[in-house]
Amino acid sequence: MINLDEVGAFGMAPTAAGIGVRFGLYLPGITPGAGYQVVARVIHQDDRFVPEIKPLDFPLQPVAGHPLGLWQAQVTLPTTAGTHFGQPGTYLYRFQLLRSTGGAAMPSVVTRWFTDPFARLTDDVGELSAFTTPGSMPDFAWTDDAWKVPELADLVVYELHVEEFNDTFDGVVDRIDYLKSLGVTCLELMPVSSLKLDFDWGYGPLHYFAPNQRWGGEWGVKKLVNACHAKGVAVILDVVYQHVDPSFPYALVYQNAGLASPMISGNGPFGPEIDYNQEFARDYLATANRHWLSAYHVDGFRYDEVTDLYDGPTGVKYAKLAYDTYDASLKLPRFTPSGGTKPGEYSRIIQVAEALNRPQEILRSTYSNGTWQDNLLSKVADMARYGYVDDSFALLLDARFNGYPDTKTVHDVQNQPVDMPVAPFQYLESHDHTQLMAWVGVGGQSPTGPFADRSAFYKLQPFAIALYTSQGTPMLWEGQEFAESWVLPDSGDARVHFRRNVHWEYFYDDEGSALIRLYRILGNLRHAYPALRSRESYYDNIHSRPADGVIVYRRSSTPNQQTAMVFLNFSDHSQGIAAPFPDPGSYREMIDDGVRTNPYIVNVGQSGQMVGVEVPSHYGFVFVKG
């Protein structure tokens, strides 16, 4: 089993002789008996661009009989005048694989340069691993001991790419209060592990244990997670466990050596593919998850491309990884109300599978409690493009109607069965698609880029109301709340290597400020009223008139005896609609309640009483009773 204490690079405190460092690297099947040699090449970060200062090379030695093919070395970086060798700070390193064959005097180079697959830190230039000496960076002081991950029903998720959103992890910290104002209780970060130097979405992973140094590295991630927890916001990471970058060591090195990799099997459309039939691969990914949970206090994961990794409820691919990660989380206090001390509690770890082809099945049969599914997104893009509304849109807001389970049986700390809530993510936009604003008003045409006209922003309003009042977990993509309108190519380098910065100036313009106002109201309403977070929905297809652009549905919460009536108008004109209100009592319209001189109240004297409502164009009402 992988042991993170024996792999990676571990710097030691300076002595008169210099800096001690211990290296460890697993290379199963690469043995000295076959003539292989492994070298660590090291230089101080402050010397890397000085041509007169050369890196130092240190041979690693194999550990006889180690089941994972451990190579290691404990060396001293000697204090050297005119250089930073032997001084505290950050050192950069890489590995080289050599091989002696046929009695040659000099070994040949098999792989000239490969990074450490277990590096905890990297350089900001790209493919270099790094380590620091003790004391060169103070220990991070966590302050989130009292933090508890929110219940699934209380999640409102905001997906973002750190660099596009606001440059760095610190930049995201600066926006936490803003995100909270939208009702956000969970950040979903696109891949944050260390990448190559070029801008990239991060879906060609290279380092699984090291956060992106250019964005703030180890301290940056910890500061962000800690700050989010202080504000009541969970953090989950988008992780890529289907394929790797071609320069990932267990792909590159074994391809160069002509050997079977312990982790990779062939190339797929996205890159070298991870082979879950090999125990080393499964152990590697489970270890990465445990590392992020323990070292960085993250609250869960969004798993990329799970459709390709699902081999049944007891399979060795995604199902096992989700199970093992859930099981590990039960031991961490933040995931259960009692801190893991009482039976009968499920872990609240957020595990979200991108399972676009079979989301209901994966929610039902794995230890996921959420799933990406593009059904609502695809529908609203089509509606915005062609200017219509229909019954199928309203029914997509009802997770139960679409076959999603309410719960999944998992286990507690005593390995006894317990029911865990599950729900699909509901979203109008995601990083994978052109933003909804770009589809509005194109008259059946495809939007042209790089970004589209925002003048018809008001047409997004009923979609936003639907999102926050839907069954499931609402998710926003960066900037949708002020009508960000980037157009995304279907394929090619411009899709994943073109940086699409969030236009923060839109926060202040007429279009953006008006839409943000609505998002903030809706976020507060969803948290204030259990009916809007419940599993109970009813679409009134009898009284709705989708041909006129107007629909009505009911949300209710039986335990709280609360009912909400939602009216949406997608047309260019104000529309009157009459619908039965289910229970006697007073229903108050809440979206604009804060700006009305007199509250808009509907008094219902008997169950099923018909009430007529005039709904403004491209807008909606939410009436709440109780």
123 and 218 in a common domain: no
Q: Give a yes or no: residue 138 inside a domain.
A: no
570 and 546 in a common domain: yes
DSSP 15: -
Among 365, 414, 349, CA closest to 151: 349
Reading the block at residue 413, the tokens are 């700390």
Q: Which of 497, 528, 559 is the last residue of a domain?
A: 528
Tell me if 436 sits within 8 A of 484, measured CB to CB.
no
Q: Give a yes or no: residue 547 inside a domain.
A: yes
Question: In this structure, what CATH number is given to the domain that contains residue 540?
Answer: 2.60.40.1180
The predicted pLDDT at position 125 comes to 76
The predicted pLDDT at position 197 comes to 67
Tell me if 591 sits within 8 A of 565, measured CB to CB.
no
Q: Give a yes or no: residue 3 inside a domain.
A: no
The C-alpha atoms of residue 532 and residue 524 are separated, in whole angstroms, by: 11
CA torsion 262-267-272-275 (nearest 10°) is -40
The C-alpha atoms of residue 579 and residue 542 are separated, in whole angstroms, by: 9
Q: Which of 486, 504, 528 is the last residue of a domain?
A: 528
Question: In this structure, what CATH number is given to the domain that contains residue 373?
Answer: 3.20.20.80
The C-alpha atoms of residue 347 and residue 607 are separated, in whole angstroms, by: 40
Alpha-carbon distances, residue 397 vs 155, 402, 469, 537, 554 (angstroms): 16, 9, 8, 8, 11
324 and 197 in a common domain: yes
288 and 200 in a common domain: yes
The predicted pLDDT at position 457 comes to 97
Phi, psi for residue 78 in degrees, rounded to 5: -70, 145
Tell me if 179 sits within 8 A of 187, measured CB to CB.
yes
Q: How many CA atoms lie within 13 A of 39 on its CB side?
A: 17
Alpha-carbon distances, residue 523 vs 157, 528, 540 (angstroms): 11, 9, 24
Q: Give the residue numbers spanning the domain of 569.
A: 531-625
Alpha-carbon distances, residue 2 vs 61, 251, 280, 293 (angstroms): 18, 18, 8, 16
346 and 233 in a common domain: yes
End-to-end Cα spacing for the chain: 55
Question: In this structure, what CATH number is given to the domain that contains residue 50?
Answer: 2.60.40.10
The predicted pLDDT at position 290 comes to 98
User: H or E stretch including 328?
Assistant: helix 318-329
Q: Can you tell me which residue has the tokens 């909270």?
A: 180
157 and 128 in a common domain: no
Cis previous bond, 450, omega within 30: yes
182 and 92 in a common domain: no
211 and 65 in a common domain: no
Residue-by-residue DSSP string for 401-456: TTT--SEEEEE-TTS-EEEEE-EEEEES--TTS--GGGGTT-TTSPP-SSB---TT
Number of domains in the chain: 3
Q: What is the pTM of this model?
A: 0.97
The predicted pLDDT at position 127 comes to 84
Reading the block at residue 258, the tokens are 């002509």
- Which residues sit opposite 158 in a β-bridge? 187, 476
419 and 303 in a common domain: yes
Reading the block at residue 202, the tokens are 């991060």
The predicted pLDDT at position 517 comes to 98
The predicted pLDDT at position 29 comes to 97
Residue-by-residue DSSP string for 540-567: -TTT-BGGGTEEEEEEEETTTTEEEEEE
Q: Give a yes or no: residue 137 inside a domain.
A: no
253 and 124 in a common domain: no
208 and 295 in a common domain: yes
* Residues contacting 244, CB < 8 A, separation 6+: 204, 205, 206, 250, 251, 264, 271, 272, 274
197 and 319 in a common domain: yes
On the 0-12 / 13-18 / 19+ scale of CB atoms within 10 A, 177 is exposed
Q: Give a yes or no: residue 389 inside a domain.
A: yes
Q: Give a yes or no: residue 574 inside a domain.
A: yes
Radius of gyration of the chain from its Cα atoms, rounded to whole angstroms:
27
Q: State the sign of the Cα–Cα–Cα–Cα dihedral 83, 88, 90, 95.
A: positive
**Collapsed DSSP state (helix, strand, coil) of residue 238:** strand
Tell me if 431 sits within 8 A of 377, measured CB to CB.
no
The pLDDT averaged over each successive group of 10 residues in the chain (626 residues) is: 97 94 98 96 96 97 97 97 95 97 83 96 88 91 98 98 97 98 98 81 93 95 98 98 96 97 94 97 98 98 95 96 98 96 97 95 97 97 96 98 97 97 98 96 85 95 98 98 95 89 97 97 98 97 98 93 96 97 96 96 96 98 92
- Which residues sit opposite 216 in a β-bridge? none
Q: Give a yes or no: residue 290 inside a domain.
A: yes
Q: Give a yes or no: residue 452 inside a domain.
A: yes
